């Protein structure tokens, strides 16, 4: 039954490649807002949700393999039953978010700063390339250096290199105990403190600075968390879990706005960024969400991120979006173009959604 | 171009002493850590700067001369084996730590810096670089990136790919790519992941920015002995089922225990069929809790003897045996051959039984050390290269072990790379579609195939000639039939 679906996808891809007609790969459609607006009139929709289900999950191996169309919520619920989690806390942005969309966008949530990003937990993938070939890279084991790491290359590629069929992920036990502490302070001090604490063996699993208050989540054995709480001070927040959920899913008040939302991913120690609008900081200062009017020039925002050894993405905008992702320098763009050509010679997968050049 | 012309052109780029071409000067470079494969290169170059490397690459590119990169030459798969008509590019002289940013927890280093030198340089800030291959006093960080090296702590702290943030890479035409950034992610495709483990096939790494992490307050070790390998394997699963990710979890089989105990008296139980070392690190409170839990899990899992390290000296003594497994093998046998398969942990007992059977069949002893936490098996086949035919039998035995790992749903290499050594087993691990894609990726970076030719990915022709059957991720026809 499952093979029938793969054969169907493959046939769709082969036909599209022959006619050079773009395919828009769609999982739950929850991250529709993300990436360039690239949907053409004649584009064909490739819905990946038919290929869903858990293929293999053995908690003591710390590995789960699932079909790309599996709802992220279902996958996380299964892990939770066994006291485990996706350590990178991917945002869902909607009930129907799929594993494929999660990996293709490569987004990670608050725990990223301590545990690692989506790409850090991908062990293997099965995918269909632009010729409709069914390929498997990596595997279901923790360490594997046979062949180039094509699996991780898929993470954050926005579906432009292939249709993900299956993904194997490393999972981790949920921490037995968590608390959130908060402390008011100014932004410069918060940036300094977050980075200082990150240089110490403290069980900090998430950081957020918003509206003059620094929030820290501590995770681990209760004894260790309590000991760290004494070292750090601050006041314990009652609804810690909801708070982090609101940061992860951008349902926090900060994000409720029609303005442009920019995502600056920069060196964590960068001093406060003085741009019009308001900001929310995560990842010890390595991630800065900027809400501002469209009148703030994108040139200055791009330059600011670049000067801070990072990059910036126009994350949400109500207008038509193009050039959402940070421009690549010519040598890098050339390698991107060549790789795209190898995986998708007819240029049919989500053309333009990532970069207008491919 | 004659050798003489090539040397002249290289002398225009490099000082005379940085170009080697006399046979006796080339000799030290004829092999890496896998000395069964040897080959003299045409020339060895020892540049000091990235600028010199750019020029060397431009010259080789223009004249179609193969280039093989070499770090410290500790690789175990023949990755840095020279090319008979090629230039061997040593990165050893690029050995500077360029910058340390303790607050941002990063260090920018040149590729020839030794792995351990990074941790030593940042120790004063209470930081270290986590991946710790056993070869860390010698191996270079550039080589670590090229192999995606691991260490005994990688279940908890990750492999090289998880601990680097930025690279400078030169492609074969001398073009510089800046990959990654000082941020936690970067724009475009994840080329940082693609470069990591690429075995010198895609580009020359000239600068690496590594992530540093805080040194744990404390580390403590539980050593448990078992009368049955299966019980030890179950103990590993039980630790993880309890929600513990140990800082390290290593297993040794009986023949290893005896070999190392004879070598340095680590205090191992000689009656044990397997010994498990399980380390906890973190804050004092965390370690105290975790060690208590680990101890009782070992008890429940049927350990015959359990000891907990009481102090740092004892912890290091318990580790010393494991760390001396390779030299101990060298003591009990004239030669040994180290394999590197990874398997799902639940298949451990099957695979060990299979190795035992093969060992009898081939008449060669085999020691097993195992990164038990992440399923990475290092069988050490003991042989004597002076006995005619023994090396060939050893290689065949090793090949069989790797095939068994694939059938168990694992892989032919967890951390040592494919290099020259496992090129044939790649035909079994991957189908023609995947291999074709690997060649395509290579061609995107190096269209004329001048970087490290003949390594890492077999030609489709070679696989066809071998007639090796691709095994699909442990899904095999008649899987129920016993094969070992
Ligand atoms: C009538 C109509 C109008 C539309 N108009 C627009 C429009 O104006 N602008 C626009 O951008 N889109 C438009 N779409 C397209 C649709 O929203 C896209 O298909 C959608 O962007 C992809 O799903 P998603 O990213 O929102 O879903 P998610 O499932 O959240 O996927 C996120 C990303 O991952 C990729 N992805 C998901 N699953 C896989 C997988 N298995 N393998 C590889 N990649 C995967 C997706 O292609 C996408 O890049 C329209 C669709 C329809 C039917
Ligand atoms: C006793 C012993 C113990 C070991 N233990 C471990 C272990 O625990 N874990 C583990 O993972 N490995 C281990 N190894 C293997 C080896 O040390 C690692 O693979 C190491 O990363 C190789 O580094 P090197 O500098 O010696 O590289 P080399 O052997 O010189 O080269 C390895 C490969 O990298 C390429 N390369 C080197 N530098 C560059 C560069 N700057 N740019 C591009 N390509 C480059 C070479 O072409 C070659 O393909 C061990 C080896 C020995 C001898």
State pLDDT tens for residues B277-306: 999 999 898 999 999 999 999 999 999 999
Dihedrals φ, ψ of B398, to 5°?
Answer: -60, -45
The verdict on the CB of residue B168 being under 6 Å from ligand 2 is: no
Per-residue pLDDT band for A1 (boundaries 50, 70, 90) equals low
Q: What is the full DSSP assignment across A243-254?
A: HHHHHHTT-SGG
Which residues in chain A have their CB less than 8 angstroms from residue B410's CB?
139, 141
Which residues in chain A have their CB less than 8 angstroms from residue B235's CB?
none
Ligand 2 atom index nearest CA of B79:
49
Minimal-distance CA residue of chain B relative to A57: B344
User: What is the bridge-based pairing of β-strands B43-45 and B87-90?
Assistant: parallel
Is residue B477 predicted with pLDDT exceeding 50?
no
Mean pLDDT of all residues in B78-96: 98
Among A116, A100, A131, A120, which residue's Cα sits nearest to residue A18? A131
Range list of β-strands (E), A90-162 = 122-128, 134-138
Mean pLDDT of all residues in B350-368: 94
The rounded mean pLDDT for chain B is 94
**Whose Cα sits closest to atom 3 in ligand 1?**
A39
A17-26 pLDDT per residue, tens:
999 999 999 8
Per-residue buried b or exposed e for A110-147, using 16+ beta carbons within 10 Å of the residue's own CB: bbbbbbbbbbbbbbbbbbbbbbbbbbbbbbbbbbbbbb
Mean pLDDT of all residues in A170-177: 96
**Whose Cα sits closest to atom 52 in ligand 1?**
A45
Task: Give the pLDDT of residue A260.
Answer: 95
Say whether B185 and A106 touch across the interface (CB within 8 A). Answer: yes
Among A241, A263, A258, which residue's Cα sits nearest to residue A108? A263
User: What is the bridge-based pairing of β-strands A44-47 and A23-26?
Assistant: parallel
B482 vs A169, higher pLDDT? A169
Task: Tell me the C-alpha to C-alpha distance, in Å, between residue B451 and each of A108, B61, B65, B83.
Answer: 35, 10, 9, 10
Q: How many other β-carbons are positioned within 10 Å of the β-carbon of residue B467?
A: 7
Percent of chain B whose pLDDT exceeds 90: 87
A274-303 pLDDT per residue, tens:
999 999 999 999 999 999 999 998 999 999
Per-residue buried b or exposed e for A42-67, using 16+ beta carbons within 10 Å of the residue's own CB: ebeebebbebbeeeebebbbbbbbbb
Per-residue pLDDT band for B479 (boundaries 50, 70, 90) equals very low
The verdict on the CB of residue B110 being under 6 Å from ligand 2 is: no
- Tokens 């309590």 locate to A226
Nearest ligand by distance to the CA of A322 = 1
Question: Cβ neighbours of residue B478 under 8 Å, at least 6 residues apart?
Answer: none
- Cα(B142) to ligand 2 centroid in Å equals 8
Task: Give the pLDDT of residue B246.
Answer: 96
- Tokens 């710390």 locate to A62
- Cα(A71) to ligand 2 centroid in Å equals 40
- Judged by a CB distance cut-off of 8 A, whether residue B120 touches chain A is no
Is residue A13 predicted with pLDDT exceeding 60?
yes
Mean pLDDT of all residues in B336-343: 94
Alpha-carbon distance A301 to B170, whole Å?
29
B34-48, B183-197, B377-391, B468-482: which has the minimum mean pLDDT?
Answer: B468-482
Is residue B345 predicted with pLDDT exceeding 80?
yes
Alpha-carbon distance A91 to A246, whole Å?
10
Query: Mutation test of the interface with chain A: which of B104, B410, B442, B446, choosing the one with the most A Cβ atoms within 10 A?
Result: B104
Task: Give the pLDDT of residue A36.
Answer: 83
- Residues in contact with ligand 1 by the CB-under-6-Å rule are A 24-32, 35, 37-39, 45, 48, 68, 97-98, 100-101, 104-105, 158-159, 163-164, 350, 353
Say whether B178 and A198 touch across the interface (CB within 8 A). Answer: no
Percent of chain A whose pLDDT exceeds 70: 99
Alpha-carbon distance A103 to A50, whole Å?
17
Is residue A307 predicted with pLDDT exceeding 90?
yes
User: What is the bridge-based pairing of β-strands B248-253 and B274-282?
Assistant: antiparallel
Is residue B102 predicted with pLDDT exceeding 70?
yes
Task: Tell me the C-alpha to C-alpha distance, in Å, between residue B38 and each of A335, B77, B152, B184, B328.
Answer: 34, 12, 29, 41, 24
Ligand 2 atom index nearest CA of B140:
25
Q: Closest to A335 (Cβ–Cβ): which among B126, B177, B416?
A: B177
Q: Which two tokens stand for residue B465?
A: 């000639």
Is residue A42 predicted with pLDDT exceeding 80?
no
Task: Give the pLDDT of residue B263.
Answer: 85
Q: Which two tokens stand for residue A21?
A: 């007609």
Nearest ligand by distance to the CA of A118 = 1
Q: Which two tokens stand for residue A228?
A: 């760290």
Per-residue 3-state assignment (H helix, E strand, C coil) for chain B: CCHHHHHHHHHCCCCHHHEECCHHHHHHHCCCCCCCCCCCCCEEECCCCHHHHHHHHHHHHHHCCCEEEECCCCCCCCCCCCCCCCEEEECCCCCCEEEEECCCCEEEECCCCEHHHHHHHHHHHCEECCCCCCCCCCCEHHHHHHHCCCCCCHHHHCCHHHCEEEEEEECCCCCEEEEECCCCCCCCCCHHHHHCCCCCCCCEEEEEEEECEECCCEEEEEEEEECCHHHHHHHHHHHHHCCCCCCEEEEEEHHHHHHHHHHHCCCCCCCCCEEEEEEEEECHHHHHHHHHHHHHHHHHCCCCEEEECCCHHHHHHHHHHHHCHHHHHHHHCCEEEECCCECCHHHHHHHHHHHHHHHHHHCCCEEEEEEHHHCEEEEEEEECCCCCCHHHHHHHHHHHHHHHHHHCCCECCCCCCCCCCCHHHHHHHCCHHHHHHHHHHHHHHCCCCCECCCCCCCCHHHHHHHCCCCCECCECCCCCCCCC
Task: Tell me the C-alpha to C-alpha distance, in Å, between residue A319 and each of A148, A276, A324, B344, B480.
Answer: 39, 20, 11, 49, 58
C-alpha gyration radius of chain B? 23
The rounded mean pLDDT for chain A is 95
Alpha-carbon distance B175 to A104, whole Å?
29
Question: What's the length of chain A?
Answer: 358
Which residues in chain B have their CB less than 8 angstroms from residue A191's CB?
none
B41-45, B178-182, B347-351, B427-431: which has the minimum mean pLDDT?
Answer: B347-351
Q: Closest to B186 (Cβ–Cβ): which among A60, A120, A311?
A: A311
Is residue A254 predicted with pLDDT exceeding 70?
yes
Question: Cβ neighbours of residue A125 under 8 Å, at least 6 residues apart?
Answer: A103, A136, A137, A138, A150, A151, A154, A164, A165, A166, A167, A168
Is there a contact between A49 and A8 (Cβ–Cβ < 8 Å)?
no
Task: Give the pLDDT of residue A155.
Answer: 98
B185 vs B134, higher pLDDT? B185
- Judged by a CB distance cut-off of 8 A, whether residue B443 touches chain A is yes
Minimal-distance CA residue of chain A relative to B150: A143
Is residue B382 predicted with pLDDT exceeding 80?
yes
Q: Is the ipTM of this complex over 0.90?
A: yes
Task: Tell me the C-alpha to C-alpha distance, in Å, between residue B386 and each of B15, B31, B40, B333, B380.
Answer: 41, 18, 22, 12, 18
- Judged by a CB distance cut-off of 8 A, whether residue B55 touches chain A is no
* Strand, coil or helix: A191: helix
Mean pLDDT of all residues in A132-144: 95
- Tokens 């056993």 locate to B134
Among A49, A42, A46, A48, which residue's Cα sits nearest to residue A21? A42
**pTM for the whole structure:** 0.94
A25-29, B56-60, B197-201, B221-225: which has the minimum mean pLDDT?
Answer: A25-29
Phi-psi region of A238 (alpha: psi -120 to 50; beta: other; left: phi over 0): alpha
- Judged by a CB distance cut-off of 8 A, whether residue B160 touches chain A is no
Minimal-distance CA residue of chain A relative to B410: A141
Interchain CB contacts (distance < 8 Å): A and B:
269
- Tokens 């292939």 locate to A162
B482 vs B318, higher pLDDT? B318
| DSSP single-letter state for residue A104 | H
Nearest ligand by distance to the CA of A145 = 2
Q: Closest to A146 (Cβ–Cβ): which among B244, B345, B413?
A: B413
C-alpha angle A147-A150-A152 in degrees, rounded to nearest 5: 125
Per-residue buried b or exposed e for A297-335, using 16+ beta carbons within 10 Å of the residue's own CB: eeeebbebbeebbbbbbbbbbeeebeebbbebeeebebb
Say whether B374 and A63 touch across the interface (CB within 8 A). Answer: no
**Whose Cα sits closest to atom 50 in ligand 1?**
A39
Is there a contact between A217 and A244 (Cβ–Cβ < 8 Å)?
yes
Per-residue pLDDT band for B469 (boundaries 50, 70, 90) equals low
| DSSP single-letter state for residue A257 | -
Task: Give the pLDDT of residue B473.
Answer: 52
Is there a contact between A194 and A268 (Cβ–Cβ < 8 Å)?
yes
User: What is the bridge-based pairing of β-strands B305-308 and B366-371?
Assistant: unpaired
Alpha-carbon distance B403 to B410, whole Å?
9
Q: Is B363 buried (19+), middle (13-18) or exposed (0-12) by CB count in 10 A?
A: exposed
User: Rounded to a whole number, what is the distance in angstroms from the first to the last CA of chain B?
Assistant: 53
Mean pLDDT of all residues in B198-224: 97
Nearest ligand by distance to the CA of A157 = 1
Cβ under 8 Å to A: B residues 382-401: none
All structural domains of chain B, each given as residue ranges with its CATH number in brackets, are 3-90 (3.30.43.10), 97-214 (3.30.465.10), 218-322 (3.30.70.3450), 333-466 (3.30.70.2740)
Task: Give the pLDDT of residue B472.
Answer: 58
Task: Give the pLDDT of residue B324.
Answer: 85
* Strand, coil or helix: A180: strand
A101 to chain B, closest Cα gap in Å: 15
């Amino acid at each position: 039954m499952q093979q029938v679906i793969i054969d169907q996808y493959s046939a769709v891809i082969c036909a599209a490649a022959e006619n050079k007609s773009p395919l828009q790969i769609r999982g739950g459609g929850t991250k529709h807002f993300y990436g360039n607006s690239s949907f053409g009139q004649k584009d064909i929709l490739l819905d990946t949700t038919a290929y869903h289900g858990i293929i293999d999950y053995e908690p003591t191996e710390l590995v789960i393999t699932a079909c790309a169309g599996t709802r992220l919520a279902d996958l996380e619920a299964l892990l939770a039953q066994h006291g485990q989690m996706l350590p990178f806390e991917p945002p869902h942005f909607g009930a129907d978010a799929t594993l494929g969309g999660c990996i293709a966008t490569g987004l990670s949530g608050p725990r990223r700063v301590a545990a690692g990003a989506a790409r850090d937990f991908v062990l293997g993938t099965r995918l269909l390339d632009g010729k409709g070939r069914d390929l498997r890279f990596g595997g279901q084991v923790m360490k594997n250096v046979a062949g180039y790491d094509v699996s991780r290359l898929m993470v954050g590629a926005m579906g432009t290199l292939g249709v993900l069929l299956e993904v194997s992920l490393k999972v981790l036990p949920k921490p037995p105990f968590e608390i959130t502490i908060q402390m008011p302070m100014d932004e410069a001090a918060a940036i300094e403190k977050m980075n200082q604490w990150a240089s110490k063996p403290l069980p900090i699993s998430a950081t957020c600075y918003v509206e003059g208050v620094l929030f820290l989540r501590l995770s681990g054995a209760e004894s260790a968390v309590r000991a760290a709480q004494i070292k750090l001070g601050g006041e314990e927040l009652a609804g810690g879990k909801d708070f982090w959920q609101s940061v992860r899913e951008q349902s926090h008040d900060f994000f409720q706005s029609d303005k442009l939302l920019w995502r600056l991913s920069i060196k964590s120690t960068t001093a406060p960024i003085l741009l019009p609008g308001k900001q929310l900081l995560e990842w010890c200062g390595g991630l800065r969400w900027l809400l501002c009017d469209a009148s703030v020039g994108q040139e200055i925002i791009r330059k600011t991120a670049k000067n801070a050894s990072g990059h910036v993405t126009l994350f949400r905008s109500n207008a038509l979006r193009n050039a959402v992702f940070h421009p690549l320098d010519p040598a890098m763009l050339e390698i991107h173009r060549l790789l795209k050509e190898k995986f998708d010679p007819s240029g049919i997968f989500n053309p333009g959604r990532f970069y207008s050049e491919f | 171009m004659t050798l003489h012309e090539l040397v002249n052109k290289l002398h225009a780029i490099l000082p005379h002493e940085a170009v080697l071409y006399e046979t006796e000067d080339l000799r030290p470079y004829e092999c890496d850590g896998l000395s069964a494969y040897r080959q003299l290169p045409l020339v060895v170059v020892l540049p000091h700067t990235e600028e010199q490397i750019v020029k060397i690459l431009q010259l080789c590119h223009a004249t179609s001369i193969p280039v093989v990169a070499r770090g410290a030459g500790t690789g175990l798969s023949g990755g840095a084996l020279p090319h008979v008509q090629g230039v061997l590019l040593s990165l050893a002289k690029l050995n500077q730590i360029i910058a340390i940013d303790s607050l941002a927890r990063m260090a920018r280093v040149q590729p020839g810096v030794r792995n351990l030198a990074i941790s030593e340089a940042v120790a004063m800030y209470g930081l270290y670089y986590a991946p710790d291959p056993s070869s860390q006093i010698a191996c270079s960080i550039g080589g670590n990136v090229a192999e995606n090296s691991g260490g005994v702590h990688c279940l908890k702290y990750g492999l090289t790919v998880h601990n680097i943030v930025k690279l400078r890479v030169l492609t074969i035409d001398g073009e510089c790519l800046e990959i990654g950034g000082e941020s936690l992610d970067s724009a475009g495709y994840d080329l940082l992941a693609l470069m990591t483990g690429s075995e010198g096939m895609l580009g020359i790494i000239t600068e690496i920015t590594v992530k540093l992490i805080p040194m744990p307050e404390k580390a403590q070790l539980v050593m448990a002995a078992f009368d049955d390998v299966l019980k030890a394997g179950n103990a590993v699963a039980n630790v993880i089922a309890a929600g513990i990710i140990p800082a390290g979890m290593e297993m040794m089989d009986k023949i290893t225990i005896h070999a190392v105990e004879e070598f340095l008296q680590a205090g191992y139980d000689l009656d044990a069929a397997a010994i498990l070392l399980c380390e906890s690190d973190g804050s004092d409170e965390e370690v105290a809790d975790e060690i208590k839990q680990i101890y009782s899990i070992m008890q429940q899992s049927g350990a015959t003897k359990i000891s907990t390290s009481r102090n740092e000296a004892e912890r290091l003594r318990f580790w010393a045996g494991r760390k001396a497994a390779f030299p101990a093998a060298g003591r009990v046998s004239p030669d040994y051959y180290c394999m590197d398969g990874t398997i799902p942990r639940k298949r451990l007992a099957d695979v060990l039984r299979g190795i035992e059977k093969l060992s009898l069949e081939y008449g060669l002893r085999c020691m097993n050390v195992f990164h038990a936490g992440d399923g990475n098996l290092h069988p050490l086949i003991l042989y004597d290269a002076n006995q005619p035919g023994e090396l060939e039998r050893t290689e065949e035995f090793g090949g069989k072990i790797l095939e068994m790992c694939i059938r168990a749903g694992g892989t032919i290499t967890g951390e040592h790379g494919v290099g020259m050594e496992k090129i044939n087993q790649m035909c079994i691990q991957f189908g023609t579609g995947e291999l074709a894609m690997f060649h395509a990726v290579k061609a995107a970076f190096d269209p004329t195939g001048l970087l490290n030719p003949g390594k890492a990915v077999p030609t489709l022709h070679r696989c066809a000639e071998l007639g090796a059957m691709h095994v699909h991720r442990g899904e095999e026809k008649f899987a129920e039939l016993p094969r070992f």
